[in-house]
Each structure stands twice: as C-alpha cells, then as structure tokens.
Amino acid sequence: MTAPMQVSRRALMLGLASALPLAACSGTGGEVGAFVDEGGFGNPTAHNILVLTGQMPFAIDLAQKFAREVPNTVMFDFDSARLDAAAQHVLRQQANWIRQFPEVTFRVFGHADAPGSNAYNHALGMRRARAVVNQLVRNGVSRQRLEAVVSQGETQPLIPTQDRERQNRRAVTEVAGLLSRHPTVMNGQYANIIFREYLASASPG
C-alpha cells in the first residue's frame, strides 16, 4: 500500500478556506476564509485531495468541536487592545484546548467598532489579534501554529451601529487547518488524534 498523498500547505489552506465556512458553528459572522480568492482551478483540485486523504472532514470536525467546546471570542474596551481578566480566562481555555491538538493550526481575527477612521480601526483590529496571539503563546501554544493574524477592522460588526459597541470590539480564534508537515498529518494517522480526544474527554474535570 502506498503512503497517503502529502498535501502542500497552500493546497490545504485553500481547500479548508472553501469548506469551513459551510460547516463552522462559531456564530461570529463567517470570519474563516473571508479573504480567500475563490478561483476557478486550484480550489476544486485542493478540495478533492483533502477529501481523498481524509483531511477535509477531519479538519471540519475539529473546527466545529473547537467552536462548540471553547469560547472563541474575547472583547475589548473602547480604543484598547488590553486583555482584561475575563479575556485572559477565555484565552487560557483556548490554549488548553489547542495544546491537545499539536497538528492543528489557528487564525485570529481582530475587529473594531465603528468610531474612528477605517485605517485606524484596521490597525486596532491587528493590535487586538496580536494581543490574543501573544497571550496564547504565553499559555504554551507554539507561535508557529498561529498561522495568520488578520484584521477585519470595522468591516464585520456583530451589531450594525455607528456608535460604540463592545460586542464589535472583539478578537475571534478559529481553526485554520492541519499542519501539513506534522508527522501525524503527513501519514494520515488521524486515529491517533481521535484517540487522544477520546482520552481527554474521559478524564475528570
């Protein structure tokens, strides 16, 4: 039997970006894949490879599991990227979950509310995303697995308003894909990841 086909990182990310918005249950306005070029040739090929190697459904399941089991959003004060005690508590929960799955990569999306210029709010959203990444790293997550930091600025509000709105001042962490160079992924050994998940779910607390 030949070894499962290895998927390039670019192919993996393009395929997941196309599929995850259809399945993710985060309720945060579809941040995943918001900037991906839909293309006409590469994405169907990447999608087929991911399905044939078992990575597509597995990554989608992990994205749904993360959104279901862990708060994926933290809020910020007005014109601030400081993480308060509540945000730090959420990020400890995220980091504990993320550390269970060393094969998985994550992306953080920063957002702002409407007051201020587009350029300023885009920079503020990036500061917020970076603050989350730095806090996850402090809680034991490898920075290499936090694949991208994305700012949506004020372009994707949860509550459409031109006024200050705390729910729009947020950063959202989502599953980005599988780390294609990780041995478990390269060899298609998804059962190992599922087994670890089973043991973790059976552990008290």
Instruction: Catalogue all structural domains in the chain, each as residue range(s) with its CATH number.
Output: 9-202 (3.30.1330.60)
Query: Tens digit of pLDDT for each residue in 22-56?
Result: 444 444 445 544 444 444 445 444 444 444 444 55
Phi-psi group of 174: left, alpha or beta (phi > 0 → left; psi -120 to 50 → alpha; rest → beta) = beta
Beta-carbon neighbour count of residue 202 at 10 Å? 7
- Parallel, antiparallel or unpaired: strands 170-178 and 104-111: antiparallel
Give me the pLDDT at residue 139, please: 97
Confidence of residue 100 (pLDDT cuts 50, 70, 90): confident
* Angle between the N-to-C axes of helices 118-138 and 85-99, in degrees from 0 to 180, rounded to the nearest 10: 60
The lowest-confidence range among 116-120, 134-138, 166-170, 184-188 is 184-188
Mean pLDDT check: name the lowest of 55-69, 70-84, 140-154, 166-180.
Answer: 55-69
